[in-house]
Each structure stands twice: as C-alpha cells, then as structure tokens.
Chains A and B, each alone.
Chain A
Amino acid sequence: MNTLSKLLLILLFAFILVDSGCKEFTKGYSEDPNNPKDAPGQLVMPAAQVAEILFLEGETARLAGIWAGQFTGSDRQYVSYQNYNVTAQDFDNMWFNVYPNVVKQARIIESKATELNNQKLLGLAQIMESHTMGAITALWGDVPYTQAANVAEFPNPVYDSQTDIYNSLQQKLSDAISNLNGAGSLSSSDDIFFAGDINKWIKAAHTLKARFYLHTKNYQSALSEAQQGIDSPDGSLIAQHGSSYLGNFNIYYSFMVYDRAGYMSANNSHLVNMLKANNFQRNSKTNEEGRYNYYFIDQNIYNSGTELNFFSNFDWGTGDGNDGKFGTDTPFRLLTYEENLLITAEAQARLGQNTEALATLNQERQFLRNGGFVSPLSTNYANPTQYGVQYDDYSAADFQSGGELYDGTSEQSSLITEIVTEKYIALTGEIEVFNDVRRADNLQRLGIQPNAGSQIPQRFLIPQSEISSNTSTPSTLPGLYDKTPVNSQQ
C-alpha cells in the first residue's frame, strides 16, 4: 500500500465521519423527553383552576385584606405593606401567576374547545377568564386584556380601559352562559369546583355578572343578575384544601405557619376591633363571638396580639370541629351564596327597595344563624353552646329613626351601611372586600382609618416586569391613591 492510497483512505474515512456524522448527530435531541408540548383542554382546565385558586387566595388576597383593614402586616416586607410602602416590584409575582397561569390557559382552552366544538368547556373557560380578569381590572384599573396572553401576535399588549374590560366581561359571561347550554360535554374530572355541573356554573356566571355590575355601580343590572345567581350554599364556588404542604394546603395557612410565620397577623386591625367591641355584641340582635373566634385567635403564637385563626387539628391538635377559618385544610370561598345575597341586598337598598333589601339581609342572617359561615371542619364556632352566635332578624324599625341601626340620615342609608358591614365581615379574606371598600361611599360607612397617611390605597401598582418589558405600559403610571376609572365615576 503506497503512501498516496493510505492518505486517500484516511481522507475518505474522515469525510464519512465528519459529513454524515456531525450533521445528523445532534438532530432530534433538542426536545424535552420529560415534558409534553401540548395537552387537551380538558386537562388544562383543572390545572388552571388550581392556579386560579392560588391567585385569588394567595398574596393578592392577603394584601387586599391588609389594605382593607382586615389584617395587619407585622414583620419584614409586610410591615412595609401595612404602611402602604410598596413598589412596582412587589406586584410582579401576582401577575406572573395570573396572566400566564390563568388568563393564558383560559384562552388556550377556549381555542381548543372551539376547535372540538365543545361549547360547555368553552363556557367554563370563559367564566374562568372573566372571573380572574374581573379581579385584575378591579385591582389595577386599565390593564392588558384584548391583546394579553398572545405573545406571538402581541409581544407588547396594550392596556385596555377598565370600562371596556368590564363591558367585555359582561358580554363574555353572557356568551359563557349560552355556551354552557350548548353542545359538548364535561366530565367530573375536568372541573375541580363543580365536577362539571352546568347548572351551578350558570348560576355562578350570573353572580359574577352581578359582582361586576356592582363594581360599575349598575345596581339595576346587578340586582337582576344576582336574582339568577347562586341561590343555595352548595352552589358556592369554593376552593377545597387538604393536608399536603405545597400540595393542597390552605394558602393563608401555608403562608402564615409554614412559609412566612409572623409576617401577617390581625393585630389591632379594623375588623378585629369592630368585632371585639362591646364584647362581640355588635348590636342587640348580633353576637359575633363565634364568628370572631372562627376568624381570629387572641394568642401570641408568632406575633403579639391577634393572629388569624390558623389552628387546625392537623398540625395543632385542636380537636375536631375547631379548625380556624385559615386552618390547614379549611376550604376557601371564592364566589358564594352569601355574596350573592349581599349583592342583592345592597342593590335593592341602593335602588330604594328597602323592604326587599331588609328581607334579603335577613336571609343572610338566617344563613349565619344556621352556621353557614363555618366550614364543616369548624362547626364548633357556630355552636351557640360554645360561643355567642346571635343573628336575629332585623326589623324595618331598626333602621328607621330611633332604631338601633339608624345612621342619622335615612332608613335606606342605614340599611346600606349594615349590608356593607355584613359583607365586609362575611367575605373576610377575599379580594372582593377591598373592592367593596373602595367603591362608592363604603369606606366612610365602614369607618376604616388608613394605616398610614390620610387615605387608603385605591389600587394595586402596575408590576415592574410590565414597566421594564412591555413597551405599551402607560408612560404615566397611575399612583397608589388614584382611583380606578370605575371608582372615579359617581
């Protein structure tokens, strides 16, 4: 074998290796063998619902609660939150969780459901989208909506006006209701809230419509929607919880006991002081001892003063029936029968239908008397032999001049004040409380004093991630004390 042929052979070999080898060698290995690139809408729905719970029950609700005077920021960053010292960065996580994990998923499900003509699933996704977008726009005002969650087409989604968003949501919810009556099917595993029960969802959609009409102070429409809304406690939209940490723990509990013990308490909060006054006897027909103890504990666990009641049989061995409102596996309420009642009552009262409003308010008090305010794990707090639980029916005279609840102006106004107060207590821990506080004249009616300065925050701030990365973010950012458009309107 001569030198030349040896060389040729080597070069040939090298050519084979380099050419056929390298070019193809890395192909086909860039795809993740561990995770899927797609999933059917029926499987996106339950996971997105979990993300929705996290948004509605997590830090958004805690901050809303602190600013609504229900809770107290007591350590580290939460001290700043208590004093309204917040920056845009503090709101990043809220949007990280809601736009990508809920709004985007709702849109994905809608598109998949439309493709497969599963109108029921489409309706469900539309309700989810409306529910969370309503919460977002109520807290932030003008936000990305029409162009949101579509990075391919809109890398810089524009900010839609809050009024337009509310109008779109009403339309979307109406569509959802008709879609739920349309073709397609839902199996119980597609839906962690109602296991695919269409009738419950239709009522929930009406209650959402009522809620949003209330936000925009369209009391007539709010009333008519609420009258088609959730009409029994078992129609309430409730997040179930369990005893698996980072699995299904109540988020409040996880935060206060496992993750950031001591950061948040209820020490000296407006709600605590209001309930405790006169030894829980809020008026001669109302004793809040049971409800107060269900909500709060006057023990020094991580803080001095008053803690949120996070006792549970699971971790604290407090015995059956004694779990607090924020216990390990206590369910969390997202959209309820009682809210629907109180929207009805307020709308009626605002429209001057005093008799109807009083009757609706008494329906709520009957619900409380029957122990409707506790979860099944917390029945002892509703047991009159253990705590003061008194919610006698009010009479019209109570709200009239000379009545115990007469506020010095009118029966109508007195009724509104009591309805708003009851809603403030009943919806404790929910974002909706902060929405109510900022609406109309409710702040004065409730008598909430700012934690710092002379006013309470009127909105959440546009997150830093938007300011940094979305060129459509308004150049003049609304301030913490600027009312959202719907709240600025009379």
Chain B
Amino acid sequence: MLKKLLSATLFTFLMFPLFNVYGQGVSIVGTVTDGSTGDPLPGANILVQELQRGAATNVDGKYIISNIAPGTYTLVASYIGYKKTQTSITVGNSDVTQDFTLQPDLLGLEEVTVSALGFKEDPDKSGGSASTVSGTKVAESGSNQLITGLSAKATGLYITQSGGDPGSGASILIRGQSTITGDTQPLFVVDGMPISNQQFETDIQDPNQRLQSVQQQVRSNDLNPDDIQSVTVLKGAAAAALWGSRAANGVIVITTKQGRAVSGKPVSVSFKSSVYADDVNKSVPLQTTFGQGSGGLYSQTSSLSWGDKISERSGGADIVDVSTPGKYAIGPNDEKIGSIASGTAGNPHGGKNSQSTYDHRKDVFDTGLRFDNSLSISGGTEGSTYYVNVSNLTQDGIIKKNSSYDRTTLRANTDQRLSDDFRVTVNANYIKMVSNRIQQGSNLSGIFLGGLRTPPDFSNGVYLVNYVSPDGTIIPDRQRSYRNPYGQNASPGYDNPNFTINRNTNGTVVNRLIGNTSLVYDPITWLNVTYRIGVDTYSDRRHEYFSQYSGQFNNGSLRQQTFNDFQLNSDLILRASRQLTDDFAGSITLGANINHRELNNVGAFVTNFILPDAPPNLGNSPATNRTPFNYKQIVRTAAVYSEIKFDAYNMLYLTLSGRGETASTFGPGASSTFVYPSASLAWQFTQMEGLKNNNILSFGKLRASYGQVGRQPGPYLTTTIYTNAATTFQDGWGSGLDPSNYNGGYIESNVLGNKDLKPERKYEYELGADLRFYKDRFGLSGTYYYNKTIDAIFGVTTASATGFAAKTGNVGSIRNKGIELSVNAEWLRFGDFVWTSNVNWSRNLNKVTSLAGTTDIFLNGFAGTSSRAVQGHPLGVLWGTPFLRDNSGNLVLDSNGFPQSGTQNTVIGNPNPDWRMGIGNTFRYKGLSLNVLVDIKQGGDVWNGTRGALYVFGTHKDTGVETVAPQDLKNFAGQTIPQGSTFRGRVNDFGGGPVALDQSWYTDLGGGFGPVSEQFIEDGGYVRVREASLTYNWNSKALRDFTGLSSIQFTLTGRNLFLWTKYDGIDPETNLTGATNGMGLDYFNNPNTRTFIFTLSVNY
C-alpha cells in the first residue's frame, strides 16, 4: 500500500507542468543596515507581504525585488536577532528605493515560532503557548546534547540529566507528567518529520528495569546542536493538537539551518572548534578515620569499615603473610600481596600498621576531555540555497577508561526554487555515534557501588593478581577487591572499580540517517500545496561484557544485540489563505498524515565463557548457557487534519484545529477514529484605538486556548497471546520457573487482551497574557494552565478466578495545573553597554486523581523504596517504610529511646519540584558579552540510597566521627556506653532522651538495608550556575579587510560552574532510572560533571 502511495505521489508530481516563466515589471531596491553599528547587514530578508515574495540582501546589505506590478504593498524586513520592521510602499511605473535600519532584538521577543506542522508563525498572533529557544542558545550552552542544552531556558520544561557519563540521556517533562505508565517524553519533530527519541534499556521488553547497567542515551542526542536554527516547544494541548495521539507530552519542533542567498557571496564558511574539560562536580562525602573491620577491630576480609582507628596504628609496613600458599598472591609487578592478621581486643589493629588512606571518590576519575569541531558551508543564489555541515565530537569521559562518546554528523540541506511556483527542499542528516559506557547503580559492577564501599585504608590500585592457591598452583588473573584482598575467592564480592573500567565493557554503535524531502507548490497566489516525506532510520549495535571473575558473572557474560528502528512519515498539506476584506483575513489548512514505525531487536545473552580471555564472542559459551532473543513491533498511524485561522481587525486571532486519527494499536472494539479538536484565541488589545502607540504599554495580548491530545496504547495489548515467557511464571516475591528449562511449552497468557483499548486523552485549557513595555524594552508573559488526562492506560487487576490476572485498560486519571511566568528586560543601555535579562519561572502541581480502585502503582525503583503513582498524590512519589509513629505523628520509641520501623509502606517523599526558575543575564559591551544563567530548582525529593548503604558499610563521612559520651548512653543493641568514654558515632535524641548512634544503629535500623527508608529522603533542590560564558566577537573592519573573514569569535564557557544544594551526595540532578516514569532515585549513580569550554569560531 505504502509503496503504491509513494509511486502515486511521485507520479502525480512529475506529471505536473508546473514551471512558469518569470514576467516583467519594476523593482524595489534598497539597503539594510544594523541600527547599532551602522554596518550593512548581508542576508537580511525583505518580503512583499501581499505577494509573499522577497529577496535577501547581498554582502553590501543591498537587495532587489524585481517584477513588481504597480500597487501598494507592505514591505517587511527581518533578520535573525533583529527586530522585524515593516513599512508601506507604493509602486508606480519606475523602480522604488526603500532602505531599512534594523535594531538588534536583544531580548529575543521576536523569535519566530514554528507550528506543529513545521510552518513559521508569528508568536504575537498565537493564542497557544510555545517557547522558542534559538539554536545559538542551545549550541552556546556548553552541552553537546540537545535536551540538556535547553535546561533553564524556557518555562514549563523540567529537564533532568540521567547522569554525567558521556552521551548520557536526559528526561524532559513538559508541564509535568501526564501519564501513569506510558511514555513521558515529548514528540520530537525535525523539519516537519517526527524522529525517534527512544531510550532503549538493555532488556527492551522490561523498560522499567533500569536499576543497574549503564546510563543509556536518548536518541535526540544524535542531533548536532550546531545544525539547529531554532527549537520551539509546544507545551499546551492546543498548540500540539495536530499531532493527535502522539502529542500528549507536548511536541518539540526543531528547525535546522538553511543556507541563505546573499548575492555577491554564494559561499559562507563557518568553522567552530571547542575544547572541553570535564570533572566531577560533586561527590559523596566519605570518612578516612576508621579502617576495614567491625566492632573497632581490623579485619582484612570484612565487608565493613567499622574497624580500628587508623591514626592509632603504629605506622610503617603491614605484617603480611607472603609465604603460605593460599594466603597470598603475586601482583602485576611481582610484588606479593597477602593475608594480614585481624585485630583482637588486645590489639585492635592486628597486622595492619599502615596509616595510609585513599580517597575512593577519585579511584577511577580524572579530567575528561572533549573536542568538538564543526564546519559549515552555506550560501546560495536567488532560488537556490544550500547548507552543509560536518561535525565531530570526541569525548573521553571523567571515568579513566572505556567511557567515551564519539559523534560524527553530516548534514546537507538544500532548497531549490525550480520555478516561481514550485520549490523542492531536501534535508539529509547522517550520524555515526560510538560510545563506551561504564556500569552504575544497583549492580555488583557499578563503579560507585564497589568503590564507595571500599574501606579508606584499602587501595583499589591493583585489581588483578595471580593467586597462589593452598596447593601451590598459581591461578592467574583473579580479581582483587577489598573483600578479596589477595584473590583468594573466585567471586570478589563487589567489583573493584578499576576492574570494572578495565575489564567490563559496554559498547554502543549507532548509524543513523534522517532525511526528508518537501515539494512545495504554489499554484495560485493564495494556495500552497506541500508534500513532505521523510525517514528516520538507525541501528544501535550494543554489547555488554562482563569479564571472568566479575562479581555479577563469575564466569563471564556477553550480551550482544542490535536495535533497528525505522520511521517513515508522509504529509500532504493544502494551505489557502486570503485577505477577505480590509479587516478580515482567513486561512485554512487541510492535511493527511501517515506514519509507520518499526522496531526490531535481535540478540543473544550467554554466560560461562569457555575460554575466559577470548575476545567477546557469543560462540565462546556452552550451548546450555545461551539465550537468544528477538522482538519486533510495527505501529502505524493515519490521520487527516485541518486548521482554520481567522484574523479580525489586526487584533483578534482565532485558530481552530482538528485531527481525526486511527492507529494500529487501538483495539478493534474501540471506535476506529479519534478526533482531537483545539481552539485558541489571541487578542492584541493594544491595537484598540486609545491603546495604540502607547508609550508605556507598547504591546499587550491576552490569549486563551483549549485542546485535546492523546497517547496511543502500546502495541499488541488488544489480543490475548500464548506465552512461554519466564515472567509469567513468577510468584510475586521474585522467585520463578521458566518452562524452557522443562521441555518448553506455551500457555495462554494471564493478561487479557483488551479489544476496546483506546488512546489516553488529555484535555487542557490555558489562559495567558503577553505584555511589553517602554518600546518593547521590558516584556512580561504569564500563563495558567490546567490539564487532565483520562483513560490513562495501565494493567488492572482482574478477578483471577476468571482465568486472567490482569487486563490492560483505560482506567486512570491525572491532572496537572500550573503557572508559567517569564520576564525579559533590557535594564540598561548606556552607550555600547547593554544589560539584559531573561527570567523564567514555572510551577506545576500534579495529582493522581484515579487509579481505578488500586491504591498505588509501582513505576520504578526497589522493593524497599520505589517511585509510584499513588491516588491523591503527585505522580512518581517516593514510597517506602517510615518510622513507627502514633496517631499524632510522634515517633513511637522502644524502651531504650530508639525509634522503630513502621509496618506499612507509605508516601515518604515527592520528587516533583515545587517550582523551577531560570535567570539569565547578559552584559554586552561592543563585541564583548558576558552571559550568566542561573538554574534554580526548589524542592523535589531524592532518595539517597547511596548514603543509606554507606552508613551500613561505615564509609560515609557521617559514620567517621567520635563522640565522648556526655552521660551513660544506650546504643541500639541495648548496651550502655558509660559517661566519659569515647565511642565511634554520635549522640541523638529521638524524643526519649539522648542515645548513642553507633555501629549497632547504622548497620541495623539506621542504615539503608534496614526497613526504614524514610530517613534517606533528602531535598534535591538546588541553585546552580548552569552556564556562564564570556564571548568576544571580533568583526572589525580591519579584520574583515585584512583577512577577508567576516568575524572571529572567542568564547569561554563554564557549565555547572557552581552548585548549592543541601543534598548529601552527588549532584541531585540525577536519576538512576533515566527518562522513565520513576523519578528521584539515587543509588550509587555515577556522578555529574562540571565543564570548562573554550570555543573559537571563524566565519568567512
């Protein structure tokens, strides 16, 4: 079918005798200059509004528009970064000259927004709310990733980077989370073509199991920020409604750069080169006072660091047994590493004499380096423009080895005007990405899990030894870790982080092609036909390798898999617009869209290598230890849509739109077509007589909109399948059986297919105002929105006696409401000195209003602490066990004055921030500008599972203190610590008098492995200097004349320069589970980074 359509399309267009010949007439000519410098502006656009024809200025700022019939026209001059200017002009029988002087638009008030369909729009006429961020701002952010480049730059965006590893993904929530278990990420549309922003976890069928493994990427990272002209974020349902059931999370519309026709200058070359230096911006506090062991006694094999006091050791070399086979190993430099006697009551240090300590936060980190080079060549002649960019980013992460990201992009955009009424646009983008990642999280190979648990007196430096076994034979290449200090066991416990980074590898290679073609036909002046077809296809080839002797897989394991993702999208759009009378204008858009998405995943997982050192090869495993897997899904969507615009008196702008849609994921019992309507109204009340040309209020607009969007059900939920999946045979506590271990077989699934499944539906209305004062020097914008998602899809429990345990249904509902405010101001203009600010503030309140009778739904996390949907609470709340409290909320203490564990799990934290704010200030003086962006997140809890675990292990800084008992104190074990004696720990009063918090407390109820997770919920709010950059733009006449270059720019940028937070751990902008529905989880996550960047741009 699709093929037929394509050929029909091509055929139809090829048959059109479209090409008209240019006619004769007079010309409009003129010069455009920069109002701040007086220099000519090459490349500025001049448009004859009535004719929708125009030209661009040449190198000398001159333009010519020929073939103009006599009449009166509106002439609009525009240029990126300058305020648009328009004037009326009357053309007679001879050429007319019209010059323009454009003023810089320092506040960005006139950024052109781009609609859901990819067409440019005037934001002043829009009744919806969209935020636009220029590509320059994204590129300048110092992040190489599109999403994090938007951090703190617009209202309503809640961006959380998964972590600081190279290429690590980020989650972007627009106005909060509007689904319970569905995908939360917005739709990305590039040049009118939706592209994939998938984040595939290792096990594609188990997307919520992200507690371990590596920081996965999101595929929007593949775009080169330098290619981006602008990013428009369509936040409200009305703005996004034309994408129907894919728009529930909002739409991010990206426009890539196009060449510009500047006559006299067919080629512009721009070269940009940046060097980045990254380091860890914040880490976990550790103690270095006490050594390995327990109960104050040194023990070389203890998992804990509750041992002897290091400073009380004698100093000098340890007494090491290096002669008894079975008690020692031979290190890489032939040194002998062996057993050390444990401490005793008489000598707590045993054979340990050395006072050396090691900072395990730095074991595997150093300064990461990035080199980013980007070369653009663009230009054109009238009727033909092109843009070509090649870029390469090479990054070595802050982890010393096997943590890297290398992205090469190649882009070519061209726009060919074949005749007056026919134009072809081709955009093509090829990306190659190669990355290596390191394990993190709840994983024996996570670098922080093993690393931060290591006692301060153990060096992780040597990670491989040749163990001398009791019978004298040497077993080579055993892993050495703090629990396995001379390789005496095949299983090391936790992996030595140096072992992880050197031996366990995780590679991913992405080859991606995104391309689209637009055929644009203007058969009559008021009608435009656009046909757009594009593909986005990539393969992601991955391996996950655990070496022999790794903690996770003692005999090694290898998972090798390839994801193939393919998307094809086609739109036919008819647009008609007419000026009906002097006061009324209208336009109508009709469109048809088809979309095909296809995913394939194939691979195998093997364990128990036959030859441990062989290169990664699936065949290097016994046949019984091989698990092959494959998965395939196709989702198809077809829709027709329409948009009607109506302008009245140049002040009222009404937009109505509707999309009728069907998709292959809808149940056959549900209605086959779903309609998503929207309406928005903007009123520029300052156009009213009396308010016009007001000196104080230079612009005022009120806007209101209402819209509906949806979310498609996941594929294949509509029928009941037969399954042999091991997950079907589990008993609720994690235990299970797999029929493939018993001859195999299939049973009818216990999940009932739902033939009535329909899309989730989100209704949203919003009200807003945009005001500008004092000749637009001061702008104020505010929006209130309210949205409600009903028919949220998730699995509901059924009466199992019916033969089914669950059924996917349209059952939940959630609402979000919030306020978004932004202020743009030009505070000061004093000669060449200008100070401007952009401030944005957003608050979103989310509430789960119905879960179909279920009290809570697990979204992500651990059995002890998880992120859940709980009825009556914001989505994603942290759920765990609190301390036992009485009815009035006081702790119920035991007889010794210690609290006790509660019996029921409950909501213990809310990871949703109270509000977020971005404060950008820019200071300019001639070619010099300083830009500082401060990012504030107020509130938003994070579960600090790292701290909880390190309390138990006794390596956390809080456990490294000594206290003199001010009175007789009970410890948690009920023992008495006599007054005046010194103990390791601290005094605390839970309300029943002072008690001693010592090892017995921290390793039990006061630690992370105890039941009470409430005590590890922390405020994850922060204030940070997200970006600070100093730029010098050298474009003096001397430079231009001497070198022929148009400008050279030097930029020094710092990203994440300063961070103020109460959070006791790594940077709280982290999430173990990445861009999933679960939030606020930190359990040995890899740390975040601070970056210094030097950039040199040369423009010819």
Most buried by B among A100, A101, A150, A242: A100
Complex CA distance for A240 and B8, rounded to whole angstroms: 62
Which of B664, B729, B734, B903 contacts A259 (CB under 8 A)?
B734
Q: Is the CB of A21 within 8 A of B729?
A: no
Binds A, one of B213-221, B338-346, B714-722, B814-822: B714-722
Most buried by A among B2, B664, B718, B747: B747
Most buried by B among A22, A39, A107: A22
Q: A17-B5, A50-B742 are in contact. Are A149 and B726 (CB under 8 A)?
A: no
Q: Is the CB of B800 within 8 A of A9?
A: no
Q: Which residues of B sit under 8 angstroms from A254, Cβ to Cβ?
A: 734-736
Kindly identify, within residues 11 to 25 of chain B, every residue whose CB is under 8 Å from any CB belonging to chain A.
12, 16-17
With an 8 Å Cβ cutoff, the count of chain A residues facing the other chain is 93
B930 within 8 A of A: no
Q: Is the CB of A49 within 8 A of B742?
A: yes
Which of A23, A54, A192, A244 contacts B729 (CB under 8 A)?
A54
Q: A34-B631, A47-B745, A151-B752 are in contact. Are A14 and B592 (CB under 8 A)?
A: yes
Q: Is the CB of B721 within 8 A of A99?
A: no
Chain A nearest Cβ from B104, distance in angstroms:
42
Q: Is the CB of B722 within 8 A of A26?
A: no
Most buried by A among B630, B638, B806: B638
Contact indicator per residue, chain B 655-667, by CB within 8 Å of chain A (1) or not (0):
0000000111111
Q: Which residues of A sit under 8 angstroms from B5, Cβ to Cβ?
A: 17, 20-21
A103 within 8 A of B: yes
Chain B nearest Cβ from A56, distance in angstroms:
11
Kindly identify, within residues 149 to 185 of chain A, every residue whose CB is under 8 Å from any CB belonging to chain B.
149-151, 154-157
Complex CA distance for A431 and B741, rounded to whole angstroms: 24
Q: Is the CB of B636 within 8 A of A148?
A: no
Complex CA distance for A97 and B804, rounded to whole angstroms: 9
Chain B nearest Cβ from A255, distance in angstroms:
5
Q: A99-B803, A101-B750 are in contact. Are A10 and B574 (CB under 8 A)?
A: yes
A254 closest partner in B (C-beta):
B735
Which of B716, B728, B752 contacts A32 (CB under 8 A)?
B716
Kindly identify, within residues 79 to 134 of chain A, every residue whose CB is under 8 Å from any CB belonging to chain B.
80, 92-93, 95-101, 103-105, 107-108
Which of B594, B730, B750 contacts A25 (CB under 8 A)?
B594
Q: A32-B716, A246-B726 are in contact. Are A16 and B637 (CB under 8 A)?
A: no
Q: Is the CB of B799 within 8 A of A470?
A: yes
Contact indicator per residue, chain B 701-744, by CB within 8 Å of chain A (1) or not (0):
00000000000000110111111101011111111111111111
Q: Is the CB of A3 within 8 A of B741?
A: no
A385 within 8 A of B: no
Complex CA distance for A99 and B802, rounded to whole angstroms: 7
B798 within 8 A of A: yes
Q: Is the CB of A45 within 8 A of B745?
A: yes
B660 closest partner in A (C-beta):
A22
Which of A22, A44, A156, A242 contacts B745 (CB under 8 A)?
A44
Q: Is the CB of A465 within 8 A of B737?
A: no
Q: Is the CB of B732 within 8 A of A59?
A: yes
Complex CA distance for A13 and B10, rounded to whole angstroms: 11
Q: How large is the interface on B (under 10, 10 to 19, 20 to 34, 35 or more residues)?
A: 35 or more
Q: Which residues of A sit under 8 angstroms from B805, Cβ to Cβ?
A: 95-96, 100, 465
B649 within 8 A of A: no
Chain A nearest Cβ from B202, distance in angstroms:
16
Q: A6-B524, A248-B737 are in contact. Are A104 and B718 (CB under 8 A)?
A: no
Q: Is the CB of A38 within 8 A of B722?
A: yes
Complex CA distance for A463 and B801, rounded to whole angstroms: 10
Q: Is the CB of B802 within 8 A of A468?
A: no
Q: Is the CB of A150 within 8 A of B731?
A: no
Complex CA distance for A14 and B524, rounded to whole angstroms: 17
Q: Is the CB of B724 within 8 A of A47?
A: yes
Q: Is the CB of B574 within 8 A of A14?
A: yes
Complex CA distance for A35 and B719, rounded to whole angstroms: 10
A371 within 8 A of B: no
Q: Is the CB of A46 within 8 A of B735?
A: no
Complex CA distance for A29 and B720, rounded to whole angstroms: 15
A436 within 8 A of B: no
Q: Which residues of B sit under 8 angstroms from A32, Cβ to Cβ?
A: 715-716, 719, 721
Which of B17, B731, B735 contacts A1 (CB under 8 A)?
B17
Q: Is the CB of A46 within 8 A of B801?
A: no
Q: Is the CB of A247 within 8 A of B529?
A: no
Chain B nearest Cβ from A251, distance in angstroms:
5
Chain B nearest Cβ from A429, distance in angstroms:
14
Q: Is the CB of B742 within 8 A of A51?
A: no
A422 within 8 A of B: no
Q: Which residues of A sit under 8 angstroms from B798, Cβ to Cβ?
A: 465, 469
Kindly identify, within residues 242 to 280 of chain A, every residue whose CB is under 8 Å from any CB belonging to chain B.
242, 244, 246-249, 251, 254-255, 258-260, 263
Q: Is the CB of A14 within 8 A of B743?
A: no
Q: Is the CB of B663 within 8 A of A26?
A: yes
Q: Which residues of A sit under 8 angstroms from B529, Cβ to Cβ?
A: 10
Q: Is the CB of A247 within 8 A of B740?
A: yes
Q: Which residues of B sit under 8 angstroms from A17, Cβ to Cβ?
A: 5, 8-9, 572, 592
A420 within 8 A of B: no
Most buried by A among B17, B635, B747, B800: B800
Q: Is the CB of A100 within 8 A of B750?
A: yes
Which of A29, A51, A189, A244 contacts B741 (CB under 8 A)?
A244
B639 within 8 A of A: yes
Q: Which residues of A sit under 8 angstroms from B799, Cβ to Cβ?
A: 156-157, 465-466, 468-470, 473
Contact indicator per residue, chain A 430-456, by CB within 8 Å of chain B (1) or not (0):
000000000000000000000000000
Complex CA distance for A103 and B527, rounded to whole angstroms: 65
Q: Is the CB of A37 within 8 A of B719?
A: yes
B697 within 8 A of A: no
A30 within 8 A of B: yes
Kindly identify, within residues 218 to 246 of chain A, every residue whose CB is under 8 Å from any CB belonging to chain B.
240, 242, 244, 246
Which of A44, A101, A189, A473 contacts B728 (CB under 8 A)?
A101
B632 within 8 A of A: yes
Complex CA distance for A473 and B715, rounded to whole angstroms: 33
Q: Which residues of A sit under 8 angstroms from B715, Cβ to Cβ?
A: 30, 32
Chain B nearest Cβ from A168, distance in angstroms:
16
Q: Which residues of A sit under 8 angstroms from B592, Cβ to Cβ?
A: 14, 17-18, 21-22
Q: Is the CB of A47 within 8 A of B716?
A: no
Q: Which residues of B sit under 8 angstroms from A150, Cβ to Cβ?
A: 802-803
Complex CA distance for A45 and B732, rounded to whole angstroms: 23
Kindly identify, within residues 36 to 86 of chain A, every residue whose CB is under 8 Å from any CB belonging to chain B.
36-39, 43-51, 53-54, 58-59, 76, 80
Chain A nearest Cβ from B211, distance in angstroms:
15
Q: Is the CB of B738 within 8 A of A247?
A: yes
B36 within 8 A of A: no
Chain A nearest Cβ from B449, distance in angstroms:
18
A143 within 8 A of B: yes
Complex CA distance for A192 and B729, rounded to whole angstroms: 16
Complex CA distance for A392 and B734, rounded to whole angstroms: 43
| Residues of chain A at the chain B interface (Cβ within 8 Å) | 1, 3, 6-7, 9-10, 13-14, 16-18, 20-39, 43-51, 53-54, 58-59, 76, 80, 92-93, 95-101, 103-105, 107-108, 143-144, 148-151, 154-157, 189, 192, 240, 242, 244, 246-249, 251, 254-255, 258-260, 263, 463, 465-466, 468-470, 473
Task: List 17 additional A-B contacts (Cβ < 8 Å) besides A21-B638, A44-B746, A469-B799.
Answer: A7-B524, A13-B9, A18-B592, A27-B664, A30-B715, A32-B721, A39-B722, A44-B747, A47-B724, A48-B747, A59-B733, A99-B802, A105-B748, A192-B742, A242-B741, A255-B734, A470-B801
Can you list 30 A-B pairs, Cβ within 8 angstroms, ordered by A? A3-B523, A10-B529, A13-B572, A14-B572, A17-B8, A18-B640, A21-B1, A30-B716, A32-B716, A33-B633, A38-B722, A39-B745, A43-B744, A44-B748, A47-B724, A47-B739, A50-B738, A51-B747, A59-B732, A95-B805, A98-B800, A108-B748, A150-B803, A151-B802, A246-B726, A246-B736, A248-B737, A251-B731, A463-B800, A466-B801
The 9 closest A-B pairs by CB, nearest first: A47-B745, A93-B732, A259-B734, A100-B750, A470-B799, A29-B664, A104-B803, A149-B803, A32-B716
